Amino acid sequence: MKISKIFLVSLLIASQPSMAGGAPDPAEQAVIVHFNYGSTDLKPLFALEDKLESAIKQAGAGEFDGDEVAPDRHDGYIYM
């Protein structure tokens, strides 16, 4: 799989302070990776997802939330 363009976007869903007062809740953030794929074989993508999920869990850095791949396998997104 060749990832030619990666957009790592840290989104603060709630830009105002949390309900309890103070800074926004870190659980309200996401990392979205957009990539060009171009292969009908999804096994390498699934292997990458397994590694990401394990690393995220081991680091206590949130959770892996899945993927979305275009029906023609041209591009996709990974959500964390």
Per-residue pLDDT tens listing for the chain (80 residues): 444 333 333 333 333 344 555 665 666 788 899 999 989 999 999 999 999 999 999 998 889 999 999 999 999 999 99
Structural domain contains residue 4: no
Sheet holding 66-69, edge to edge: 32-36, 75-79, 66-69
Structural domain contains residue 63: yes
Kindly state the helix (H) or strand (E) to which residue 50 belongs, with its residue range.
helix 43-59
Structural domain contains residue 60: yes
Contact indicator for 69, 35 with CB cutoff of 8 Å: no
Structural domain contains residue 6: no
The whole-model pTM stands at 0.65
Structural domain contains residue 3: no
Structural domain contains residue 21: no
Domain that holds residue 69: 26-79
Structural domain contains residue 73: yes
Structural domain contains residue 9: no
